[in-house]
Amino acid sequence: MTDHFIAPERAECADAIETLHAEAFGPGRFTRAAFRLREQGPHDPALSFVALSPGGDLLGSVRMTPVVTAESGRHGHLLGPLAVAPKHKNQGFGRALVRHAVEAASVTPDSGFVLLVGDAPYYAPLGFCQVPAGRLLLPGPVDPRRLLVHPLGDDAIVKALAGIVGYDHRPAVRATLGCAG
């Protein structure tokens, strides 16, 4: 693995991350259900991480957005986008960033799960399982096989999740903004 360090995302990373997302996902990213959920409010920079070279070049990025399920009132985080710079793929950066974000969320008070839309073969070894079909609704269509969740603490939360997933506007959650500086 290329020399690197993982750090909370800082404001000055925003342009490089946007370029990475454009490269990784193309213009189609704006129509995805997860993107539309993320449009409801800012990601949490304290739980969003970048992998950087010793010289400060961006190698990869993962973001986390606070979410809440309408029907069951469960608080958690939506993981994504996750992207690794093309020339640094397959060196473990993606997995390291996911592990870092999940670990950080697991010590965040009142975050019960990490949700994402992604490929199960990649995320299952990292502790993610499929959300029982039809239980959660995102603001757009999602292939149920790609709606994955990682319980934090109590595995029973997977069966308890229900309803529309929306941005978590609680002041306590929003108060984490600015911690990355």
Ligand X SMILES: CC(C)(COP(=O)(O)OP(=O)(O)OC[C@H]1O[C@@H](n2cnc3c(N)ncnc32)[C@H](O)[C@@H]1OP(=O)(O)O)[C@@H](O)C(=O)NCCC(=O)NCCS
Binding site residues, ligand X, CB under 6 A = 24, 82-84, 89-95, 118-119, 121-122
Task: Please state the closest distance from residue 147 (CB atom) to ligand X, in A.
Answer: 11
Of the two residues 40 and 122, which places its CB atom closer to ligand X in the complex? 122
> Using omega within 30 degrees of 0 as the cis cutoff, is the peptide bond preceding 81 cis?
yes
Closest residue by beta carbon to ligand X: 94
**Residue 163 contacts residue 137 (beta carbons within 8 Å):** yes
Of the two residues 31 and 90, which places its CB atom closer to ligand X in the complex? 90
Give CA–CA dist 100/131, Å, rounded. Answer: 22
Report the 10 Å Cβ neighbour count for 177.
13
Give CA–CA dist 162/175, Å, rounded. Answer: 26
* Structure tokens given for 78: 């939506």
Of the two residues 2 and 72, which places its CB atom closer to ligand X in the complex? 2
Task: Please state the closest distance from residue 166 (CB atom) to ligand X, in A.
Answer: 21
Task: Please state the closest distance from residue 125 (CB atom) to ligand X, in A.
Answer: 9
Task: Please state the closest distance from residue 75 (CB atom) to ligand X, in A.
Answer: 22
Of the two residues 82 and 147, which places its CB atom closer to ligand X in the complex? 82
**Residue 6 contacts residue 96 (beta carbons within 8 Å):** yes
Give CA–CA dist 124/151, Å, rounded. Answer: 12
Task: Please state the closest distance from residue 27 (CB atom) to ligand X, in A.
Answer: 14
Of the two residues 21 and 174, which places its CB atom closer to ligand X in the complex? 21
* Structure tokens given for 128: 């993610």
